[in-house]
Amino acid sequence: MTKLEHRSLNPDEKIHFKGNIPFFSLHLGCLLVFYTGWSKTALVIFFLSLIPRMFGLTAGYHRYFSHRSYKTSRFFQFILAFLGACSLQKDCLWWAAHHRLHHRNTDTEIDAHSPRHRGFIMAHVGWFMCKKNYDFDPMPHIPDLAKYPELVFLHKHPKLPALFWLLLLAASGFYLEHAHPELGTTMGQAIVWGFFISTVFLHHVTFCVNSVTHMSGTRRFNTPDDSRNNLWVALCTMGEGWHNNHHRYQSSERQGFYWWEIDMTHLILVFLSWFGIVWQLRSPPKEIYEEAERNRQAKWVHA
């Protein structure tokens, strides 16, 4: 476990409860499940709503916009930005700017979400619930992205994609309820499972990358931060849990460096590369694997 070195929060780092009413409302919306119930089709809707938005965050916000670890067309770039915004984690400009600053200052006092200095809750959710980070201007930190007017539009209207997603779920649920009543799925179930529960689950498993993977897991590389590889976080986030790997070689598109490190985002990107949708996927160089082998042997000798 990471040794915590808590310090007092500055006034602008305190949670802004009034400004986070939408975030709290998402969680309260999950309670509607006791009214709508569930069905097998509702669970399918949950996963169909979860996976593409998770991909928008992992392949889009993180590996593409933050690290530019592969290349794609301007059209697919927008698709990734739109899918990511459907998750209600703000827009790709805000997200990428914060993430780049995180890597420059990882686990130092100026890292916005370091468990070492601010504790688990602040690292997990508190950091973006304060005005200092939520109202942060990303433009000076992402000049390579700010030149695209369509991305700037999403930055100015970050909730529009999520509203579209909600309406799509409502329409799908209405259709299933009336055209296929034998499925036992209602419009309410589609909204509760596809939007509220799916979004809250998506939030917290991706937030675990900031909190859990800096506190619990294994360390293949001796990075200067507290990053760790965590299998469970990797499984829930389509590969983002191989965090120590990522902090050792940030520009790699694949974060599961070995075949047994399950990285679904990487596998999907490889599949898309067969059709020319993405290309120039960056991999760790030979030197990184040699370093990993030296570290493995050293741990075996001293075990």
Query: What is the rounded CA–CA span in Å between residue 70 and residue 181?
Result: 44
pLDDT single digits (tens) 171-188: 999 999 999 999 999 999
Query: What is the rounded CA–CA span in Å between residue 284 and residue 210?
Result: 22
Asked whether residue 111 is assigned to any structural domain, the reply reads: yes
Query: Mean pLDDT of all residues in the chain?
Result: 93
Residue labelled with tokens 């686990």: 107
- As for how many domains the chain has, the answer is 1
pLDDT, position 133: 86
Q: Give the pLDDT band of residue 1 (cuts 50, 70, 90).
A: very low
Half-sphere exposure of 12 (CA within 13 A, CB side): 7
Half-sphere exposure of 198 (CA within 13 A, CB side): 27
Asked whether residue 2 is assigned to any structural domain, the reply reads: no
| Helix axis angle, 92-104 to 149-156, nearest 10° | 90
pLDDT single digits (tens) 74-117: 999 999 999 999 999 999 999 999 999 999 999 988 888 899 98
Query: What is the rounded CA–CA span in Å between residue 81 and residue 60?
Result: 6
pLDDT single digits (tens) 283-297: 999 999 999 999 988
Question: What are 3's two structure tokens?
Answer: 């040794």
Q: Domain of residue 138: give its range.
A: 11-301
Instruction: Using DSSP, state whether 130 is helix, strand or coil.
Output: strand
Strands in the chain per DSSP E: 71-72, 278-279
pLDDT, position 117: 86
Residues facing residue 72 across a β-bridge: 278
Residue labelled with tokens 């917290």: 204
Dihedral sign for Cα 244, 248, 94, 10, please.
positive
State mean pLDDT over 146-166. 97
Asked whether residue 39 is assigned to any structural domain, the reply reads: yes
pTM of the predicted protein model: 0.93
Asked whether residue 296 is assigned to any structural domain, the reply reads: yes
Question: What are 9's two structure tokens?
Answer: 């929060």
